[in-house]
Amino acid sequence: MAERPEDLNLPNAVITRIIKEALPDGVNVSKEARRAISQAASVFVLYATSCANNFAMKAKRKTLNAGDVMAAMEEMEFERFLQPLCEALEAYKKGQKGKKAASEQKRKDKKKSETDENDKSRDEEEDEHMDEEQDGENEGEEEDVEN
Amino acid sequence: MAATAPAAPAESDLDRSGTEDELRAAEPDEDAGNAHGGPAAGAQQQHRLAKLPLSRIKALMKADPDVSLASQESVFIIAKATELFVEMIAKDALVYAQQGKRKTLQRKDLDNAIEAIDEFAFLEG
């Protein structure tokens, strides 16, 4: 099963949904047109990637970043995409931050419950960083232990 | 004693989180979900911000031999840009269908749009 880049198509259902949402009600799309759009989308990804990679290489970086893709869009004459892409990126970054914080919190909670018996003092230091709310509540109670 | 067993995989997650921004680390995100309990964390990664699956986009990007690594953000933006592209080409092709007094978009409408619009020149041939 040789996988050429052209064979990697994006899921038809998603492509169809995007098309339907872009077009007014009552408009249909033939199967051939849908397939052609899907192929065009794959070519778009390849072309955008190649363009973005040029910018990364120019900057002597090995990792493609968001800025490279934005520059590629301009190069490809898709400036109209820049603003919606910037907005989407902001939303995405916020979402990632939230998830990272949530999983870090989970990890710290796990650690805390395991080392509870051994390092009470260390835990309290961490408490000050993580659980600001708790600090407010426990201030009166734990003062003795801190001292 | 049995309680300390799960601690081992948690530690290896710490190592991987350092490379979270890199392309290949997009997979450990789903693996980390399994370590914590269920692939739910991986599924939530989409979070309705990108309709196209980032894994498929990433696979396409990797097809380019010159591309070594790509940040998660760049994969996301390309996915989003592709979505905008599909919307754009569909709407532009519709114009030609309407000219032909048709309500069904056909392959030739797309061909016409590609020929007529400069931005789509990369699709020719």
Tens digit of pLDDT for each residue in B78-95?
A: 999 999 999 999 999 999
Task: Note whether B103 contacts A26, CB cutoff 8 Å.
Answer: yes
pLDDT at position A98 is: 87
Burial tier of A95 (Cβ tally within 10 Å: 0-12, 13-18, 19+): middle
pLDDT at A121: 57
- Rounded to whole angstroms, the Cα distance separating B17 from B60 reads 24
A42/B3 Cβ within 8 A: no
Buried b (16+ CB within 10 A) or exposed e, A14-27: bbbebbeebbeeeb
Angstroms from B18 CA to nearest CA on chain A: 12
What tokens were used for A18?
């995007």
The arithmetic mean of pLDDT across residues A46-53, rounded, is 97
Whole-number average pLDDT of chain B? 75
Spatial CB neighbours of A58, under 8 Å, sequence gap ≥ 6: none
Which residue type occupies B83? Answer: E
Given a contact cutoff of 8 angstroms between Cβ atoms, the answer to whether A76 and A54 are in contact is no
pTM above 0.80, yes or no: no
Of all helices (H) and strands (E), which one includes residue A127? helix A120-130
Predicted local distance difference test score (pLDDT) of residue A122: 54
Q: Which of A43, A49, A3, A59 is nearest to B69 (CA)?
A: A49
Tell me what percent of the residues of chain A surpass a pLDDT of 90.
59
Distance from A135 to chain B by nearest Cα, in Å?
27
**Which pLDDT belongs to residue B9?**
43
> Of A24, A35, A33, A44, which is closest to residue B109 (Cα–Cα)?
A33
Q: How confident is the model at residue B41 (pLDDT cuts 50, 70, 90)?
A: very low
Interface touch A69/B90, C-beta < 8 Å: no
d(Cα B27, Cα A1) in Å, to the nearest integer?
A: 23
Q: Give the tens place of pLDDT for each residue, A13-30.
A: 999 999 999 999 999 999
Contacts of B102 (CB under 8 A, 6+ apart): B109
Closest partner CB to A10 (pick from B56, B89, B118) = B56
Q: Which residues of A touch B100 (CB under 8 A)?
A: none
**pLDDT at B27 exceeding the cut of 70:** no
pLDDT digit string, tens, across residues A89-124:
999 999 988 888 888 999 999 888 887 766 655 555
Segment A129-142, tens digit of pLDDT? 544 444 444 444 44
The interface residues of chain B toward chain A in range 66-95, judged by CB-CB distance below 8 A, are 66-74, 76-78, 80-91, 93-94
Which residue among A37, A92, A106 places its CB closest to the CB of B73?
Answer: A92
